[in-house]
Amino acid sequence: MEQQAIYQRLCGIVGEANVRKMEPMKRHTTFRIGGAADFFVLPQTKEELAELVRFCKKDGVPWHVMGNGSNLLVADAGVPGVVIQLFKNFSRITLEDTVLCAQAGAINAQVAKRALEASLAGFEFAAGIPGTIGGAVVMNAGAYGGEMKDILLETEVLDGDGQFRNLKNEELELGYRTSIIAKKGYVVTEVKLKLEKGAGEQILARMEELRERRTMRQPLEYPSAGSTFKRPEGYFAGKLIMDAGLAGCAVGGAKVSEKHCGFVINTGEATAEDVECLMAKIQRTVREKFGVELEPEVKRLGGR
């Protein structure tokens, strides 16, 4: 299908104002890295999202759904096809007693703020996780002793047939950085969290404590995609990398943070190729020194 025909069809679904051609993806990732997407699309409703996905699948147009790009490494060559973003356009948060409902594009910090305002406890651990609630559910995000599976009631997803389904917690197969959503390629549209009534000052104190710990231990002053590698069973990725003597190791503009070796950071002008080469070097060195295989946590996107 010709590019102009794709563009016209996308505009017909979401309106011309919500379709961008050759959009630099470095503007939409926390790594600040990435070439251009052929088409960058911002649906405003679930119905538009479903129609976009059905169109792409029917006409063989490559497509990808993203949130705020906090866990993405986009190829320097860009992304062929359509990138659909669910972010500020899908960020409504509502409350039903102790159940918090959030659209997939709501930032975790926004969700935590709303829970705090309602004196609802249980989401404090995720307040500083950089990303959207949709992405947090897909990967069963966790930190400081909490995981999404602990508070997730149910999730609305768009399945492979373009149909909306509500999946209960027990149907989501939530494990370490995985879920049935990730395995089947579903798209999260809305989540419901079961929280508990608490004391506002205690909730705030816990959030502040965790924020301070993150600030002290993580290189938040640099662009990154968060933890670069998953935690190997029985080990910590950051410690393995540090013990391998790789603190401060750099390839081009990509560097292993001395503050936390589990983070590869962009010191200013890093390319995706720089990051890929550095990640490969880290994996090779850790494998040779400790016999441990590091699996990337950052998701790769694009390439031509």
Q: Which residues are catalytic?
A: 177, 227, 297
Which tokens hold the place of 7?
Answer: 């563009």
Alpha-carbon distance 153 to 167, whole Å?
A: 9
**Coil/strand/helix, residue 167:** strand
Q: DSSP E strands: which ranges in the chain?
A: 19-24, 36-41, 63-66, 72-74, 79-85, 93-96, 99-103, 120-121, 142-143, 146-147, 152-158, 164-168, 187-194, 196-197, 224-227, 250-251, 254-256, 263-266, 299-301
Half-sphere exposure of 4 (CA within 13 A, CB side): 0
The residues facing 296 across adjacent strands are 229
Residue whose pair of structure tokens reads 């017909």 in the numeric block: 12
Tokens of 93: 């948060």
CA–CA dist 238, 217 (Å, integer): 11
